[in-house]
């Protein structure tokens, strides 16, 4: 069966609500069956969560993570560049958001563009949407097919985060398209571990006010739940002139989680969130008139909700299944366009052992996405409403070549999408453990980033210029999507080394070489006249094309050391080099190699120090260096964050935090859309009270 025949089996034009009416009863029956088994069965699962605050470095290497293999593996046994941010890392770093926490990860580029906008990516190609990075919250993707990437509209209650699992490099063999340069999976705590109540809050000059409350309890012997609500209000950033940018950010969010763990066979998780966020910015809008453009302050209003259900069923000691269903809805209103987006996703996977040497995993999935756009002169989509389907399957086998020494992992993802058709994304990974404290690994992978609505269906009016020979009087420079794009393709070669030198000293080194094809760039077309909107004007079209190739290579180093029982040091360094090439069909004037290559820093360094002073005080320092971004005009910068924590009692904690202490403000990134802003020095205090 070829790709065209497969496409006829998909329901791309079926209205989303009609489709949900058909599939939701089936999903509900599955979940009800799971609940019934959980509540009816006898026995008790003993799986208390460990306290990561008391883990040694040696213990952390034995921590189990799930993001690369879709099943639990010890960190020391994973043949990939893995980094885990624990709940203790988050607490003692003083960060107030997930993007800030990701600065700990070697190889990650994190730029705060303004008060409410982040650019986050891994191993290059950093921009507003981070289109080569897959971001998950408990396995639920927040990637936007409309924007061909991720905007950090969704959030979590930081006190509920158990860990953030970060895979540097492709993970497409299991997670599919867009897991090209990395995967971030934010894992929240089991409700069993959040019993009682927690109240937290604080304020400062940049963090003007924030707070959250959580309450957890049980509704049966081994059935637990929690509910939470959070709020924050962040101040405007500033322009280089020192004037306030109109980008203050206010957000409300609430949610819940239920966990049923009644027996040793069935576990059911059900959770959801609802949020509302109001932010702003300043942009330069093109105007078809003598002024040509005007600087405008604007407001962005985002409302959304999501719900997820997960059922784990143990068939035998060596076989289990997982069924996950989620639904996302967001309503975004801003100056560029208004958009309602809905995503329905269902995934099934089966994990089992084949004899003593083969650990086998396979799965199926289907995703349905629908949007409705209200266009503007600046940004428009044609058609203004679209429904797309994604059908997927994967298979993976982890083969034990020699017990406790050699492991080979082979697998591939198979997908069919409505933009490029059928995609295959295989990988092979080899792990060698010459000793229990040493791991060496190597891999080769293929991954793709598929086009989205912004790539294929959009028109963006960038600039109005005066025209020298009237009529017409104006020349409108416009960027057009292209519905004939191929997927951006990556062939990645990686190798790594982990060494637990002593119980208090560890080293992790990764090297990579990435080869890209079909990368997006721009081509210029023949100008033509246009009568609407008035007055008559000339349009110079710039079209998105897949005519760029390139290579990236680099090294990433992470080291941790406990020089004393009360003191921990964590260092990270990354080096990145990017080389891009024109295939010859794009004019050199548009193909700005230095510009593309200069969007990511060559060198980054981070050093964290955590000291326990006396019995009740903590002193935490975080020094970072980021190399310059010549394409954006961003100079290199060094920052220092500091935190002083005081445990007033076992349940009450006070902390004083300072951020960006070395200078009063500095730029970190820019976008093509908003006026560039700068990040200011900040101070805030925080009080957290835990009680039962």
Provide the token pair at 141.
């993707």
Show the beta-strand stretches assigned E in 467-535: 474-480, 488-502, 505-524, 528-530
Residue 49 has pLDDT above 50, yes or no: no
Provide the token pair at 477.
């420079």
Residue 220 has pLDDT above 60, yes or no: yes
Mean pLDDT of the chain: 87
Local structure of residue 192 (DSSP, 8 states):
G
Biggest distance spanned by C-alpha atoms of the chain: 85
Q: What percent of the chain has pLDDT over 90?
A: 66
Chain segment 466-515, per-residue pLDDT in tens: 887 667 888 999 999 999 999 999 999 999 999 999 999 999 999 999 99
- Measured between alpha carbons, how far is residue 642 from residues 560, 618, 639 in Å? 19, 11, 10
Residue 48 has pLDDT above 50, yes or no: no
Place of tokens 């971030």: 184
Domain of residue 569 covers 3-691
The total number of structural domains that make up the chain: 1
H-run or E-run covering 317: none
Residue 10 has pLDDT above 70, yes or no: no
54 Cβ contact partners less than 8 Å away, ≥ 6 residues apart = none
| 163 three-state secondary structure | strand
| 17 three-state secondary structure | helix
Domain containing residue 502: CATH number:
2.40.170.20
Residue 421, pLDDT score: 94
Provide the token pair at 133.
């990075």
- Measured between alpha carbons, how far is residue 607 from residues 344, 503, 504, 571, 645 in Å? 41, 20, 16, 4, 19
Q: What percent of the chain has pLDDT over 70?
A: 87
128 Cβ contact partners less than 8 Å away, ≥ 6 residues apart = 113, 117, 119, 149, 151, 671, 673
Which pLDDT band holds residue 4 (cuts at 50, 70, 90)? very low
Residue 389, pLDDT score: 95
Contact 660, 684 (CB under 8 A): no
Contact 365, 392 (CB under 8 A): yes
Place of tokens 């060494």: 499
Pick the residue with more confidence: 71 or 509? 509
Q: What is the mean pLDDT of residues 531-558?
A: 92
Which pLDDT band holds residue 18 (cuts at 50, 70, 90)? very low
Count of alpha carbons within 13 Å of 659, Cβ hemisphere only?
Answer: 19
Which pLDDT band holds residue 129 (cuts at 50, 70, 90)? confident
Residue 32 has pLDDT above 90, yes or no: no
Q: Which of 449, 414, 395 is nearest to 1 (CA)?
A: 414
Residue 22, pLDDT score: 42
Query: What is the per-residue DSSP string for 101-125?
Result: HGGGSTTEEEEEEETTEEEEEESS-
Residue 681 has pLDDT above 50, yes or no: yes
Chain segment 363-388, per-residue pLDDT in tens: 999 999 999 999 999 999 999 999 99
């Amino acid at each position: 069966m070829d790709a065209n025949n497969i496409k006829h089996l998909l329901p791309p034009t079926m209205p989303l609500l009609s489709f949900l009416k058909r599939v939701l009863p089936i999903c509900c029956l599955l979940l009800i069956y799971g609940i019934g088994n959980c509540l009816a069965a006898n026995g008790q699962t003993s799986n208390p969560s460990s306290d990561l605050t008391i883990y040694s470095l040696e213990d952390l290497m034995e921590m189990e993570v799930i993001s690369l293999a879709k099943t639990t593996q010890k960190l020391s046994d994973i043949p990939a560049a893995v980094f885990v941010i624990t709940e203790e890392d988050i607490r003692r770093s003083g960060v107030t958001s997930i993007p800030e926490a990701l600065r700990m990860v070697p190889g990650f580029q994190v730029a705060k563009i303004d008060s409410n906008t982040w650019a986050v990516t891994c191993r290059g190609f950093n921009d507003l949407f981070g289109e080569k990075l897959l971001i998950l919250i408990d396995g639920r993707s927040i990637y936007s097919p409309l924007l061909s990437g991720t905007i950090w509209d969704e959030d979590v209650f930081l006190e509920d985060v158990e860990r953030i699992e970060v895979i540097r490099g492709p993970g497409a063999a299991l997670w599919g398209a867009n897991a090209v340069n990395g995967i971030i999976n934010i894992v929240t705590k089991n409700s069993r571990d959040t019993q009682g109540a927690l109240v937290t809050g604080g304020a400062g000059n940049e963090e003007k006010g924030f707070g959250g409350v959580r309450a957890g309890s049980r509704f049966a012997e081994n059935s637990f739940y929690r509910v939470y609500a959070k709020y924050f209000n962040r101040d405007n950033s500033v322009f280089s002139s020192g004037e306030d940018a109109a980008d203050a950010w206010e957000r409300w969010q609430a949610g819940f989680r239920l966990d049923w763990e009644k027996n040793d066979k069935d576990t059911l998780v059900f959770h959801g969130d609802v949020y509302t966020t109001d932010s702003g910015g300043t942009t330069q809008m093109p105007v078809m008139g003598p002024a040509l453009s005007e600087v405008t302050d604007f407001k962005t209003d985002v409302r959304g909700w999501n719900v997820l259900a997960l059922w784990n069923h143990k068939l035998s000691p060596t076989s289990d299944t997982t069924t996950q269903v989620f639904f996302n809805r967001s309503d975004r209103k801003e100056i560029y366009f208004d958009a309602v987006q809905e995503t329905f996703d269902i995934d099934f996977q089966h994990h089992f052992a084949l004899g003593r040497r083969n650990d086998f995993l396979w799965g199926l999935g289907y995703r349905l996405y629908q949007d409705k756009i209200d266009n503007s002169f600046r940004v428009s989509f044609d058609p203004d409403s679209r429904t797309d389907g994604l059908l997927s399957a994967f298979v993976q086998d982890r083969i034990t070549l020699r017990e406790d020494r050699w492991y080979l992992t082979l697998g591939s993802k198979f997908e069919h999408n409505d933009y490029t058709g059928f995609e295959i994304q295989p990988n092979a990974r080899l792990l060698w453990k010459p000793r229990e404290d040493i791991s060496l690994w190597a891999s080769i992978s293929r991954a793709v980033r598929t086009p989205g609505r912004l790539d294929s269906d959009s028109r963006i009016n960038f600039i109005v210029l005066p025209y020298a020979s009237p009529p017409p009087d104006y020349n409108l420079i416009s960027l057009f999507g292209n519905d004939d794009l191929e997927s951006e393709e990556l062939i990645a070669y990686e190798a790594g080394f982990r060494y637990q030198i002593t119980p208090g000293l560890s080293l992790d080194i990764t090297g990579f070489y990435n080869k890209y094809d079909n990368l997006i760039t721009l081509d210029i077309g023949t100008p033509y006249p246009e009568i609407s909107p008035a007055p008559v004007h000339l349009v110079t079209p710039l079209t998105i094309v897949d005519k760029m190739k390139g290579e990236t290579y680099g090294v990433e180093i992470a080291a941790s050391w406990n020089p004393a029982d009360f003191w921990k040091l964590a260092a990270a360094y990354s080096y990145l080099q990017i080389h891009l090439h024109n295939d010859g069909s794009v004019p050199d004037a548009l193909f700005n190699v230095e510009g593309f290559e200069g969007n990511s820093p060559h060198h980054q360094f981070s050093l964290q120090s955590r000291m326990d002073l006396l019995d009740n005080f903590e002193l935490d320092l975080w020094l970072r260096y980021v190399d310059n971004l010549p394409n954006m005009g961003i100079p290199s910068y060094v920052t220092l964050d500091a935190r002083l924590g005081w445990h007033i009692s076992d349940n009450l904690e006070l902390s004083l935090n300072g951020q960006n202490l070395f200078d009063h403000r500095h730029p970190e990134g820019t976008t093509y859309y908003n006026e560039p802003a700068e990040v200011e020095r900040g101070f805030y205090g925080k009080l957290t009270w835990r009680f039962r």
